[in-house]
Structure 1
Amino acid sequence: MMISFPGLSKLKTKPVVYQDVLSAIDPGTLEQLKELSSKRKAIEVSINESSSVTEAIAREMSGGLTSRCEQEIQKLERYLPLLENLVYHVNLHRKNRAMTCWISGLNVRWSSVLTPSSIFHLQGPKFYQVNDIYFELGMTLFLYGVLLREQALEVMSSDLVQSATLFRKAAGLYKYLAQEVLISLSTNQERPPEATPSVSSIMSLICLAEAQAVAASKAEKNGKTEGLLAKLHWGVIEFLVEALNMWQVTTKECKDISSRLLDFILSCKTLHEMTSYKYLSESLKKDGKIGTAVGVLRLALANAKKNVPKEEPWTSVYKQVIDELTGLLRKYEHENEFVWREKVPCDDELPFPQGTIMATQISSFHYFPKPCLRKPMSPLSATHFILPQETPFSSNSSTLKLSTSRLCKKVSALVSEEKIVESSDSGTDVFKLTYLEGNSWLWEVGGVRILVDPILVGNLDFGIPWLYDAAKKFLKNFKLDDLPEIDCLLITQSLDDHCHLKTLKPLSQKLPNLRVISTPNAKALLDPLFSNVTYLEPGQASEIQLSDGSSVKIQATAGPVFGPPWQRPENGYLVTSPEGQLRLYYEPHCVYDENFLENKRADIVITPVIKQLLPNFTLVSGQEDAVRLSKLLQAKFIVPMQNGDLDSKGLLSSLIEAQGTIESFKEILSKELPDAKVVEPTAGVPVEISAPMNSS
């Protein structure tokens, strides 16, 4: 028993052609703007119902999708990542007057389906223009949530689990929209209800209520007890009551909002309240409390008369439930009158249903740093927007220029109970690992030197130093010139603390043909810089050939997802030595897919072990998660990285909290994986880990 709120996807928008307004300084950026316009055009044509494409052609264009909802969702998922790029760049230069003029020139306009005028359409829909790129992002995400919800309703009859998942995903999206996106929309211009945080909060609660209702339907289908069913339906009511409380905020935040949404919430609440009381009465009847059951049904019918739905098909469903309760009440009253003759308690003495919450939102909308979004585009054309070119470095050293007083630590993979035994010669199966602080490493295996997530030019500040600005503590004078000859650049993630443009630009000028292996998420950043890039999705692998015919194999694994659910995960990597006797695993956030790694093994695990926390958000995991990872991969050596141990300043720096220590990690590890050894690297000092010597 569910009712729907149709028409939310009837939003309209006016055309936006990005390349006609935003000026690009290079062909790559121009192509991105054209692609952005093209993807938006597909959405415009669809929601404005101006397409002449037949259903058959639409199905072919979408790769065989037959559902209109799925086709529309696919279009949005192709557009939203590109829009994120634009939002990221605009946000970097938000205070620049030229950028403000450009965004105003886009004339972003959307209609509303939640205003009274949208119901009557007397002179066509009213369009709202808000000169802020977050308005475009917010309205697009609102539409995305609406379509997820419609798809959930569409599949409900065939797959209750998928339906509940879609409702929960929509709930998470709306919460993210309310708390992360729309609060950044700072404007005095009139905006539609869909662009207000309170309406998105209400939609999140409605979707949770609907997911809870699906859970109740599944429980009914599985023959659960009446007592549990009463609690599940009352759980729906609890979400709806919270939505009604939020409505009070909405009416203050947005004067021009139709009461139809309020009527829908009240109608849903009434229907689930009656259903909950029905199951409660049946449970009481089974327990021999028929008088109380009669009282509960009378109360339910009396309450139902206070909120009668005002439109079809809500009214029909309401009448159906009323008839069902009325029939049940007559039956119980008749049985009580002629058989049991129990006293019917007054309303104050009746039991009150208790809710059981089953539905939780699916949230994967985390961006770092806030409020910037993801992958930056190439710089847009304007003097203030062009990033200064880094001075190219002039020479390349064959060795690291480090203090000669530091000794090279050599560790063997042949371990006794008391000590680590050194190996004199292990051929090509040796990993030499040099920690360069932060997320940066220099690895050497089989004679191949791999530079990982380098930050060697300037500080790490994500382009917003007032929010976060970090410098290295120990290798302050280590420069690009100090690197030995590099064979491969390995990039795990697309954010600045892994794909550091201040470093990569001069590196690409020096070595434009350098072999690069990266997550596809960094494609927009790396393609303009390097000509020899291999992008690996999780599960894909690439090999670096050696002169003797052997190779170093690099396989991508699934790392964290920093962004909306359509975002592909970032990468971790498994690196296998030429003779196949040693394998290294690396992922710099200690976030991993256990199912993917279940049958994988790694002798060496490089991972953070100290957690880095923001309020209500884990930036970097560690401790027990690092132990679980090491145990999963059956690691012999764990090399802890302290990627949060930097000299940092800025607003965000003061909010980051470290949790745990290397010593506490060792203590947990000793209980779960007692034979594993922790090898603590010193910044700039190579650590060698070799395969065990062959016994003869």
Structure 2
Amino acid sequence: MCVFEDKFIARDSGTLEQLKEMTSRRRVIEESINETSSITDAIAREMSGGLSSHTQQVLHKLQQYLPLLENFISQVDMLDYNLRIVQWTSDLKIRWSSALSSSLLFHLRGPKFFQIDNLRFEVGMMLSLYGAFLRQRALEVISEDQVQSATFFREAAGVYQYLAEEILPTIQHCLPSERPPEVIPSTSAAMSLICLAEAQAVTSMRAEEKGTIPSLLAKLHYGIVELLNESANHLHISSGESKDMSSNFLEFLSAFRALHELMSRKNLAKELMSGGQSGVAIGVLRYALTDVKKEMPRENSWKLVFGIEIDIVTETLRKFERENEIVWHKKIPSRDELPTPVVNPKCGGQQPPCNWQVAKSGTQNFDGIEEAVAVDEKQQWPLYSAQASANHLAPQELSPLLHLPFQFPRLQAAVALTLRYRSNRVVPAVIAEESADGATVSATDAFNLTYLEAVGGLSILVDPILVGSLDFGISWLYEASKKILKNFQLSELPEFDCLLITQSLDDHCHLKTLRPLSKKSPNVKVIATPNAKTLLDPLFSNVTYLEPGQSSVVEAKNGSQVLIKATAGPVLGPPWQRPENGYLVVSPQGQLTLYYEPHCSYDKEFLGKERADIVITPVIKQLLPYFTLVSGQEDAVQLAKLLHAKFIVPMNNGDMDSKGLLASLISAEGTIGSFKELLSRELPEAVVLEPTPGVPLNISPSSDQA
């Protein structure tokens, strides 16, 4: 940790207080990024002026620290080159890990740290962090306010441009050969262009929703391609200066570019077809499909986006070919004869970064530093004023752990920012209830599973979808509703003790349900994945976020206690992203354990140490081309075998009334009958219990249901 008042001598109380404030401001940023703060969420909201989003809070802290830091540097610069300043700066041991470096993934002892004894290195990394969090904030609000999202992306672009042009060139002369990619000007220039491309992707998303003509959409998407090509050129330059660039970051850039090139060609083909140029339109689509399949990414969540767009283009091509065969009979030109969009309407320029000069003008000068240097030149090192000495801390070698992995956009706002959904993993509202009435073990440790009914004891509401439809914010592309209990009203929901959320996406963290539910039960105990923090914090006041392996105890009104332990579920994003959750629910006397995870996605090594009597899991696979949405069948059998399950309760994930283009692309594989057959070979004593929605299903240690 950098302690400025520990290393820099202050000759007056004002300067000392400024140094202490810098240390304090930096410390809270470090604690926020590394999640080491002991401050409660409520206090954090209060300290940030009511901001509930973690991203907003970090941005607020950076806005408080950066003006102080730049003002301090401007005062130090007035001293010209001074050996004491050089020594004090070196003693700070400013160390950062890199979010863009491959060493982040492969350094065996944890993140690799870079120490550069220059205060502008600190400014550069802090501004890079600020740009990253602006970008993260853009992704958070994209489903609610696309205009605001595009603005955040452009502001991030402005920060990176400011870094590339004003800050980083001034420290290139003092950088060691081993340096993080973030301090290379061409890397920041590339990031600026990527953020502009993402802003334009949001604009293209809005344009498509408004029914903009294909010719303009083609140009918008092609503008994204050109921005990303220019970004790749900058990264090619920076790769010569830093050979440690993350391959995942480079793959993201390549996938982002390839997908928007496909979208551009798709819209260009539509425009050509409407103008009677069917042969040219067909040629554009054929070569577009050939090219994009060569760029298919490795990451499964990105494959999903590619697969959907490829299917859309393939179907469009099939229609065009059929129409040309029957009506137009136009020749298909060669690749060299095909057109490309020629206009590039980029969506606005970079927003200028925050004007730190405004903030700096209101801060006190660090005049005491200059005086301390002058005095110290005449005396032995180190020399502290009486006041500084009284506040001086013993020198320590602490390295800051300011580490923010590069946040690839999540799928619903992601490689293709025009697709704001994740998948069709539809889970009906489930209440898993602990019947804790009675004194016997069998009564206390019985699970009563239902959709809407509560029996008593401890009731746990899981991933509820009870209000409105499920549409992931793209009702024009996908919308689904339950086949059963369509007229259910939230007022009919019995009281429950705990709300359990497995994932942060709409099919598990359904805001149409959770918003009114939070008004009905604002103080209910909530246990959730940390991935849903930004969604749940504004709604509920009593939320416990569990990482896989962590557990929490929930107490019923009658005093019985149930243990809930989080397990690792699917990773819905890049490989290093935090997994979503599954849960083990242990009955009060430990006689029964229930396991629930809605995708049949699990960590074999983790679950190999656990046991569960009851397993609630999908058994029928839900598939999109090139991507498995929900696993089942043999995966569900292996899950039951791994946990030594006695009872398996199948989930009917796909049993929905759905409409839209995506609904037509989703297919099912397997049946409950085929699952039973597979299970009988591997785990013949296990019993499959098929629930009826709304009808309680009681399972106790003595259950002998077949």
Length-normalised TM-score, structure 1:
0.52
Q: Which amino acid aligns with 1:645?
A: D
1:26-175 superposed matches below 5 A? 27-28=50-51, 32-33=55-56, 35-36=58-59, 57-59=93-95, 65-67=112-114, 83-87=135-139, 89-90=141-142, 93-94=145-146, 102=151, 106=155, 108-109=157-158, 133-134=198-199, 167=247, 169-170=248-249, 172-175=251-254
SS of the residue aligned with 1:643? Answer: coil
Distance 1:252 1:482, change over 3 A: closer
CA offsets 1:342-376 (integer angstroms, 9 cap, x no match):
xxxxxxxxxxxxxxxxxxxxxx9872587467899
Task: Go from structure 1 to structure 2 and tell me whether the alpha carbon gap of 1:657 and 1:366 turns closer, same or farther (over 3 Å shift).
Answer: farther
Write the mapping of 1:479-490 to structure 2, written as runs, cut at 5 A: 479-490=489-500
Q: Is the 8 A contact 2:93 2:115 kept in 1?
A: no
Inter-partner Cα distance in structure 2 for 1:555 and 1:206: 34
Pick aligned residue for 1:463 from 450, 458, 473: 473
CA deviations over 1:417-459 (Å, ceiling 9, x no partner): xxxxxxx9812111111136xxxxx776x81000001111111
Give the C-alpha shift of residue 206 in structure 1.
13
In 1, are the aligned partners of 2:134 and 2:152 still within 8 Å (CA)? no
Task: State the 1:618 CA deviation.
Answer: 1.2
Mapped pair 1:681 → 2:691 = yes
Q: Which amino acid aligns with 2:575?
A: P
Residue identity in the other structure for 2:448: K
For the structure 1 residues 204 and 549, does the alpha-carbon distance in structure 2 shift closer, same or farther, using more than 3 Å as the test? same
Q: Deviations over 1:492-518 (max 9, x none)?
A: 011111111111111111111110000
1:451-486 deviations in whole A, cap 9, x for unaligned? 001111111111221111111101111221111111
8 Å Cα contact 1:637/1:678 also seen in 2: yes
Equivalence for 1:509: 519
Partner residue, 2:176: none
Q: 1:523 to 1:92 in 2, by over 3 A?
A: closer
1:435 equivalent in structure 2: 451
User: How far is 1:176 from its partner?
Assistant: 3.4
Equivalent of 1:658 in 659, 664, 668 = 668
Q: Is the 8 A contact 1:42 1:75 kept in 2?
A: no
Aligned to 1:610: 620
Partner Cα distance (2:679, 2:490) in 1? 36
One-letter amino acid matched to 2:51: G
Structure 1 residues 157-184: Cα deviation after superposition (integer angstroms, max 9, x where no partner):
xxxxxx9xx64x4564344323457767
Is the aligned partner of 1:177 residue 2:256? yes
The answer to whether structure 1 residue 540 and structure 2 residue 592 are counterparts is no
**Distance in 1 separating the partners of 2:133 and 2:189:** 28
Contact 1:103 1:131 survives alignment (8 Å): no
Q: CA deviation at 1:547?
A: 5.9
Residues 45/538 of structure 1: CA separation in 2 closer, same or farther (3 Å cut): farther
The 1:107–1:689 alpha-carbon spacing in structure 2 relative to 1, beyond 3 Å, is closer
In structure 2, what is the equivalent of residue 635 of structure 1?
Answer: 645
Give SS of 2:469's match.
coil
| CA shift in 2, pair 1:443/1:634, >3 Å | farther
Return 467-476 or 78-87, whichever deviates more: 78-87
The separation in 1 between residues aligned to 2:242 and 2:486, in whole angstroms, is 57
Shift of the alpha carbon at 1:28?
Answer: 2.8
8 A contact 2:454–2:494 mirrored in 1: no
Distance 1:68 1:203, change over 3 A: farther
**Contact kept? 2:59, 2:130, Cα under 8 Å:** no
Give the % identical residues.
Answer: 47
Matched residues in 2 for 1:152 and 1:572: separation? 43
1:85-116 Cα shifts (integer Å, max 9, x gaps):
5235335554xxx659956974835669xxxx
Question: How far is the alpha carbon of 1:574 from its aligned partner?
Answer: 0.5
TM-score, normalised with respect to structure 2: 0.51
The letter of the residue matching 1:66 is F
Q: In 2 relative to 1, CA 206–620 (structure 1 residues): closer, same or farther, beyond 3 Å?
A: closer
Partner of 1:526: 536
Q: Tell me, what secondary structure is at the counterpart of 1:454? A: coil
Asked whether the 8 Å contact 2:634–2:675 carries over to 1, the reply is yes
- Change in Cα spacing, 1:456 to 1:30, as seen in structure 2 (3 Å) is closer
2:570 touches 2:599 (CA, 8 Å); kept in 1?
Answer: yes
Separation (CA, whole Å) in 1 of partners of 2:52 and 2:258: 30
The residue number in structure 2 matching 1:276 is: none
8 Å Cα contact 1:560-1:570 kept in structure 2: yes
* SS class of match (1:108): helix
Report what 2:581 is aligned to. Answer: 571
Tell whether the 8 Å contact from 1:443 to 1:451 is kept in structure 2 after alignment: no
User: Structure 1: which 5+ residue stretches go unaligned?
Assistant: 1-25, 113-117, 156-162, 189-196, 209-246, 257-363, 377-399, 403-409, 412-423, 437-441
Determine if contact 2:570/2:602 at 8 Å carries over to the other structure: yes
Instruction: Give the 3 Å change call, closer, same or farther, for CA 76–590 of structure 1 in structure 2.
Output: farther
Confirm or deny: 8 A CA contact 1:172 1:204 kept in the other structure.
no
Partner of 2:411: 367
Query: Higher helix fraction: Structure 1 or Structure 2?
Result: 2
Distance 1:467 1:474 in 2: 23
CA-to-aligned-CA distance 1:296-316 (integer Å, 9 cap, x gap) = xxxxxxxxxxxxxxxxxxxxx
Give the structure 1 partner of residue 682 of structure 2.
672
Q: Distance in 2 between matches of 1:486 and 1:73?
A: 47
* Greater relative contact order structure (CA < 8 Å, 6+ sep): 2
Q: Which residue of 1 aligns with 2:565?
A: 555
Inter-partner Cα distance in structure 2 for 1:496 and 1:58: 41
Q: Count matched residues.
A: 443
1:195-594 map, 5 Å: 367-368=411-412, 371=417, 426-435=442-451, 447-546=457-556, 550-594=560-604
Deviation of the 1:490 alpha carbon: 0.4
Q: Residues of 1 paired with 2:294 and 2:161: CA distance? A: 18
- 5+ residue gaps, structure 2: 1-48, 77-88, 99-109, 117-121, 163-168, 170-184, 203-223, 269-287, 300-334, 345-407, 423-428
